[in-house]
Structure 1
């Protein structure tokens, strides 16, 4: 159910289908397409002109105006064109583009049954099915791009917290991330995308991800370049950027809808409650105070000095309204990928289950004990 074409050698200039790809070459071949058993006529012009075809089909439900331009070339240029189509995923699109949905065309148009267009089921038209496919495919690509950006932002947050870039004097380079043993699935997720190895740290309840190969390092740097916010990490990554001839990019000001905060919380964050005050806390500990202060105006909370001697600071979110805002409007879009997400899912239940010390209701007390057990064991 595909159209056929006859190749003839001439010099032409071609504009690809639907003006999506424009490929201009000299000393290539001239082609004539025979579509619809010669019901569609084509005109070919001299070099450096554009081949255009307009075909209008008027009906109640179908009114299409489309432009079809074909370039059929010699062997070397044909291979190049095929590679372009593969890159843009046109190989899967082409069959749907050139297949006539005969049943829809006959049932839903006002053309006479004697119309020459109806005599050939291989006529080139766009059906409603094709239109739906194109729209759906473009939406899927947009969603995929957003998901990929969210993942790269999250990864930048992970590396800003628990990551490290290394370039030794001997030329040894690597990217390393160390996390708690219960969160090793996060390290395997990163390994699946970039390669590397995941091994348990000796004499510690932790696992380390290590990436050494050049291709993997270049890929991970390109993905997080412009998303890293920790000054210490930027200095480390810059050394590798110089080695691999990559331009270092600086991040923009953080906004509410950014996956970086989720990754940063997965790495250096903690979620806990205070039974006496009846509050849940989301905290992030860091030595760099300037990395935490911008979060106040975006997510709420405050920055405290956790240890004056060590010059360590802690960002804390503790107000109920701010916690619920994060749960309803942020974590639903950028969920944590570590076990901490299970405690996030229990925060609202905490405020329903908490009881005062004066409460002597045995039933509620047992429910509270069961809840505490789930909280401690990271169980939803």
Structure 2
């Protein structure tokens, strides 16, 4: 019998998972299956099982060897990086680009739609939080068609395009730029190739950090989270964490993101049927900040990125180890947009 928690994490590195002991990472517990071994070496393992009415997804990308045995031992090696060894980013915030060309805007729009949009019969819907209303109007202006409606009893708006010419423009912008299958399947299901006389290219099933797709995807459901946590090992009594996360029902883009960055972890929640990519590593933060410096976000999410970026720069200088620095970080995270969530534990 397989006993499990409802959150499954990815771990990059060497590990040994054993029964009856368990693999413990970030406070989550995983029981092993007696008399069964799974071995992987430098490859991606994706295992899916159905247990009763619950679905369990195990995903792993290992930089070394992964073993699953019945021995009563559990060994995990963690490497910690001092702040003075962190990757550097520019002190200066790059110029915020708003006049994107069609290729860049197409990648951004594709990521945005795959994150929080859907295609109906000859129509497109995209949801925006109230902090991103200005982006909804920017999208409408760039496409030249569509309407924006306030969603009743929610802090959000909906962009809807039903105009045939507008839909043709949208198809031309995103065609060949989709990463995963759900939105592509919607286009095929509703006969967009026939109705618009357009060859719908299949999804690429790849994610790279050299275009605006991840910016659009993050704009939809990404979160920059700054935590100030009580610590007995820090002189200030607290430590600072930078967390980047994206939650989605479609796990494929999250797997691709993990494979592209090679850091972080991937969780699956059985009750809500939602997957989540999450990273609290400073090195991952540097990779993402360098990416968003080049392929910028918009509206409220852009403000969140700026706060995240400012705190990271303080960390590279060791300011997070000083009382004045902690006060400054608290000030940064509590002013302005509520998009950047701050947690003090």
Please classify the TM superposition score into its range, dividing by the shorter chain length.
0.5 to 0.7
What is the CA–CA distance in structure 1 between the aligned matches of 2:211 and 2:328, rounded to whole Å?
36
Find the counterpart in structure 2 of residue 29 from structure 1: none
Does 1:341 pair with 2:302? Answer: yes
- Structure 1 residue ranges without an equivalent (≥5): 1-143, 168-172
Matched, 1:186 2:135: yes
**Do the aligned residues in 1 keep the contact of 2:225 with 2:242 (CA within 8 Å)?**
yes
Question: In the alignment, which of 311, 317, 332 is matched to residue 273 of structure 2?
Answer: 311
Q: Which residue of 1 aligns with 2:118?
A: 164
Tell me the residue number matched to 2:246: 284
User: In structure 2, what is the Cα distance between the partners aligned to 1:217 and 1:349?
Assistant: 39
The answer to whether 1:205 aligns with 2:155 is yes
Displacement of 1:290: 2.1
Q: Is structure 2 residue 157 aligned with structure 1 residue 242? A: no
Q: 1:306-358, CA deviations, whole angstroms, 9 ceiling, x for partnerless residues?
A: 42222211011321122112222x112210123122222222432427756xx
The 5 A counterparts of 1:364-379 are: 364=325, 366-374=327-335, 377=338
Give the number of the structure whose alpha-carbon radius of gyration is greater.
Answer: 1
Q: Distance in 1 between matches of 2:264 and 2:320?
A: 26
Residue 178 of structure 1: how far off its partner (Å): 0.9
Flag as ranges the 4+ runs of structure 1 deviating above 6 A. Answer: none
Which secondary structure state, in structure 1, belongs to the residue aligned with residue 142 of structure 2? helix
Name the structure 2 match of 1:320: 282
Taking CA–CA contacts closer than 8 Å with sequence separation of 6 or more, which of the two structures ends up with the larger relative contact order?
2
TM-score, scaled to structure 2:
0.60
User: Which residues of 2 match residues 126-141 of structure 1 at below 5 A?
Assistant: none
Which residue of structure 2 lines up, in the alignment, with residue 257 of structure 1?
Answer: 210
Give the aligned CA root-mean-square deviation in angstroms: 2.6
Normalized per residue, the structure richer in helix is 1
**Change beyond 3 A, Cα 1:146–1:177:** closer
- Cα gap change, 1:326 to 1:208, in 2 (>3 Å): same
1:175 aligns to 2:124 (yes or no):
yes
Which whole-Å CA distance do the structure 2 matches of 1:377 and 1:145 have between them? 26
Partner of 1:229: 179
1:118-164 deviation digits (Å, cap 9, x = unpaired)? xxxxxxxxxxxxxxxxxxxxxxxxxx998321111000000001111
1:214 and 2:164 correspond: yes
C-alpha distance in structure 1 between counterparts of 2:130 and 2:309, whole Å: 27
Paired positions, count:
227
Q: Which has the higher strand share?
A: 2
Q: Distance in 1 between matches of 2:214 and 2:105?
A: 12
Residue 220 of structure 2 corresponds to which residue in structure 1? 267
Deviations 1:54-80 (A, max 9, x none): xxxxxxxxxxxxxxxxxxxxxxxxxxx
Structure 2 distance, partners of 1:364, 1:322, is 22
SS of residue in 2 equivalent to 1:331: helix
Q: What residue is the counterpart of 1:297 in the other structure?
A: 259
Structure 2: 5+ residue stretches without partners: 1-97, 230-238, 341-345
- TM-score, structure 1 as length reference: 0.55
Q: CA deviation at 1:183?
A: 0.3
**1:284 aligns to what SS in structure 2?**
strand
- Give per-residue Cα distances to partners, 1:183-241, cap 9 Å, x unaligned: 01111111112211111111211111010111111110111011112321111122222
